[in-house]
Amino acid sequence: MGGGMTTVERTQVFLLPDLGEGLSEAEIVEWRVAVGDVVTVDQSVVEVETAKAVVDVPCPYAGRVVTLHGAAGEVRPVGQPLITIAPLDGGDEPAGHATYREEEQAGSGNVLIGYGTGHGGATRRRRRPRLTLAPDPADPARTDTDTAWTDTAPAGGAAPSGGTRAAAGGAPGTGDTSGHPARPTALVISPIVRRLARERGVDLNAVRGTGPGGVIRRADVEAALTVPAARLAAVPDAPVAPVPSGDDDVIIPLTGVRKAIADKLSRSRREIPEVTIWVDVDATGLLETRAAINAATPDAPVSILALLARICLSGLRRFPQLNARVDTEAQRIVQSAGVHLGIAAQTDRGLLVPVLRDAQRLTTAELAAELAATTAAARAGSLPPARLTGGTFTLNNYGVFGVDGSTPIINHPEAALLGVGRIVDKPWVVDGQLAVRKVAQLSLTFDHRVCDGGVAGGFLRHVADCVERPALLIAAV
């Protein structure tokens, strides 16, 4: 070969990269290619789920797939082989394609979809079409920010987009050579939908998608669960999921997001001496203020959570001790210059806390828009891992679950968390007279190492006063 490398010698092994924030492993959700397929530089080859998000992983090499290291559902450690690529024989290699990117030659690491070089050439393998989904007016993204406060989410949140993929059995990218008619391919964009179907035993090929272009939505899978058994039996090739008897234990592996949540909460409870204080508030004035704002600016409505976030930012400016963390190794308290506000959001993948960085720089309208877009992206699983870490203070609306109060666990390594209960009609004394008002409970859980009760009580009282008399918030801004 004139001194050149052999095909075996030139084989490139792509290792699972660090997907951000020092994550040590990822679970293979679905391979997007099969052995024998031709791939190009930066082509997405596999979808994996980390402890923080579901991401597409692009391959930095071009050539033919030789080996897929791991099957769907398998957990792979970072730095271990993920896929092996061999150069194409002779002139089959796409013209103009380097075997790998300059970034890889320089050892800069692997880049995720959306952050790559963006170049690519023709390939012998037909790419699956890509769909961009618009928000579905029949199924708007519900946010934890509004349910408990009889609120509506602001419009304008960007809908995530993703590639369609085959949900039928068999390796992706392989054709049916049996001569039998091919089964219809289910259009599934969301990994949440695919996982829900897998857990509930729903055959996606038997589900009719009601989303744009026939895309299957979560509501479609849930609707399929309510179809009578006789009707399901009439659907060709629709498997019936086995139903365990009442005597069988249900085994749920502690992996992925659930494992990350368990580890973080255990560490928080183990390391942080937390204290919870609470107060009931009359939120009637805050609801009236929100109504007045939205009447004046109908094109940029604000949510109750956005107003509560603004109030928290005001309180943290007065009491910066709570916008901090304890560095146990250096034996010091670090007060953050900016407020990186975490918003607890319940998703199908578990409890996530997306972060709005430097929230103190946002206007109230910008806060409302960011909150709506961020929580929607968190539920869609489209937030990168970096958006789920680095918070300095968390706002948690547990009233969405219909409860009045809670003693939540602090989101380690933060030092405080404000919880908001449901808002309900209750008797309240106003100017010496009994009246029916909109009442809610606020709770503050804080790390007793960063401050004493005076600071914590001062912060919570400031928040409560601003909720009851929003004019105080305007005076403090």
Give the pair of three-digit tokens for residue 417: 């968390």
Residue type, 211: G
- 448: annotated active-site residue: yes
Rg of the chain taking only CA atoms, in angstroms: 26
Q: Residues 399, 150: contact at Cβ < 8 Å?
A: no
Six token digits for residue 332:
């010091």
Q: In 216-303, where does DSSP find H-type helix?
A: 218-225, 229-233, 256-271, 284-296
Q: How far is CA 220 from CA 51, 237, 382, in A?
A: 27, 18, 20
| CA–CA gap between residue 51 and residue 60 (Å, rounded) | 23
Beta strand 393-396 pairing with 341-343: parallel
Per-residue CA distances from 78 to 16, 56, 60, 110, 225 (Å): 5, 15, 16, 12, 37
Query: Phi and psi (nearest 5°) for 358?
Result: 50, 50
DSSP E strands: which ranges in 114-254? 130-132, 161-163
CA pair distance 418, 442, nearest whole angstrom = 7
Catalytic residue among 97, 340, 448, 462: 448
Strand arrangement, sheet containing 63-68: 12-15, 81-86, 63-68, 38-39
Distance CA 76, CA 69 (A): 9
Give the β-pairing of 416-420 and 393-396: parallel
Burial call 225-263: b when 16+ CB within 10 Å, e when fewer: eeeeeeebeeeeebeeeeeeeeeeeeeeeeebbeebbee
As a whole number of angstroms, the distance between CA 233 and CA 81 comes to 42
**Which residues are registered as beta bridge partners of 341?**
356, 393
Copy the structure tokens of residue 68: 């897929």
Pairing of strands 393-396, 355-356: unpaired
Active site amino acids: 448
